[in-house]
């Protein structure tokens, strides 16, 4: 895994947006896997800026989000459909027909999960999957002990994840759904490139375990060690518990010109 340590979340978000923008410019009809939560917001803001100021074009980009809560009405401000519309899709020229999010209101959840997997395959697979990481090491909503070969399915959120996410529901834990539909770990691993972001001291343990610990279903993000093209962008606080921090800085500083990241 390539570890890119940046001084602040803002700087990390710019690097992440540059990586995504480079792909969109090289392949205007690429397929992006997207995430919600606090972590990618700065990256979305920078992509929106690039769209407005530099003409970064999303018209032919197809997107698949990682997950959606089960049972929240579409118009609920915390449904991931609403979150994505507000924080990204509406602010760039995304084509609504090309933006995909699991249907958390589907009557037949297993059928919806199978449909979602088939839609990813029909789109040609995901070129780049953007990820955050939970304080317990989850990616998507694949909580610890999730099968590392899992595909899109229903999952039950842990109490820790529900508590972490209560801040989006005015701190009211009772409002946080218990279930979600999430891409599986195997679905994420099938994407051609993975870009995981982690900012803040509360992510330092999960990041250290994912990057330098053993590969284990108890920290689902650790399986990214097996992904051939995985990058992890962290700020100093999230990197604080990495034993080989100096080496990751060294690698980044000595990239050959052709490997340097710029939009
Ligand atoms: C979001 C998702 C989750 C979050 C993770 C971190 O679509 O799948 O894995 O990325 O819970 O959330 P934040 O960024 O809010 O700390």
Can you tell me the mean pLDDT for 218-229? 98
| 57 noted as active-site residue | no
Confidence of residue 125 (pLDDT cuts 50, 70, 90): very high
Q: What average pLDDT does the chain have?
A: 97
- Ligand 1 mean position to 37 CA, how many Å? 5
pLDDT at res. 73: 86
Residue 68, SS3 per DSSP? strand
- Given a contact cutoff of 8 angstroms between Cβ atoms, the answer to whether 243 and 210 are in contact is no
The verdict on the CB of residue 62 being under 6 Å from ligand 1 is no
The token pair at 213 is: 């610990």
Any idea what DSSP says for residue 37? S
| 143 noted as active-site residue | yes
The token pair at 168 is: 């989006």
pLDDT at 43 over 80: yes
**Structure confidence by residue, pLDDT tens digits, 8-33:** 999 999 999 999 999 999 999 999 99
- Given a contact cutoff of 8 angstroms between Cβ atoms, the answer to whether 132 and 197 are in contact is yes
User: Is 0.75 surpassed by the pTM of this model?
Assistant: yes
The verdict on the CB of residue 185 being under 6 Å from ligand 1 is no
Nearest CA to ligand 1 atom 9: 140
pLDDT at 263 over 60: no
Can you tell me the mean pLDDT for 88-108? 97
- Tell me whether strands 179-182 and 128-131 are parallel, antiparallel or unpaired: unpaired
- From edge to edge, which strands make up the β-sheet containing 153-156? 67-69, 179-182, 153-156
């Amino acid at each position: 895994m390539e570890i890119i340590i940046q001084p602040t979340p803002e700087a990390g978000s710019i690097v992440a947006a540059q990586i995504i923008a480079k792909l969109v410019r090289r392949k205007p009809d690429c397929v992006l896997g997207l995430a919600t939560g606090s972590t990618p917001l700065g990256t979305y803001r920078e992509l929106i800026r690039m769209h407005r100021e530099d003409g970064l074009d999303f018209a032919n980009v197809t997107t698949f989000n990682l997950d959606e809560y089960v049972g929240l009405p579409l118009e609920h401000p915390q449904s991931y459909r609403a979150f994505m519309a507000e924080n990204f899709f509406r602010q760039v020229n995304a084509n609504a027909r090309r933006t995909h999010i699991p249907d958390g209101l589907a009557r037949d959840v297993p059928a919806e999960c199978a449909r979602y997997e088939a839609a990813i395959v029909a789109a040609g697979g995901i070129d780049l999957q953007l990820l955050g990481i939970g304080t317990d090491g989850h990616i998507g909503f694949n909580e610890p002990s999730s099968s590392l070969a899992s595909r899109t399915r229903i999952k039950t959120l842990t109490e820790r994840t529900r508590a972490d996410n209560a801040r989006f529901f005015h701190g009211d834990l009772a409002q946080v759904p218990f279930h979600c539909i999430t891409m599986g770990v195997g679905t994420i691993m099938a994407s051609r490139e993975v870009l995981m972001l982690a900012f803040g001291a509360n992510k330092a343990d999960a990041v250290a375990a994912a990057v330098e610990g053993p590969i284990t279903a108890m920290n689902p993000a650790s399986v990214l060690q097996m992904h051939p093209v995985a990058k992890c962008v962290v700020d100093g606080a999230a990197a604080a518990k990495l034993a080989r921090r100096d080496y990751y800085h060294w690698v980044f500083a000595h990239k050959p010109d052709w490997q340097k990241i710029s939009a």
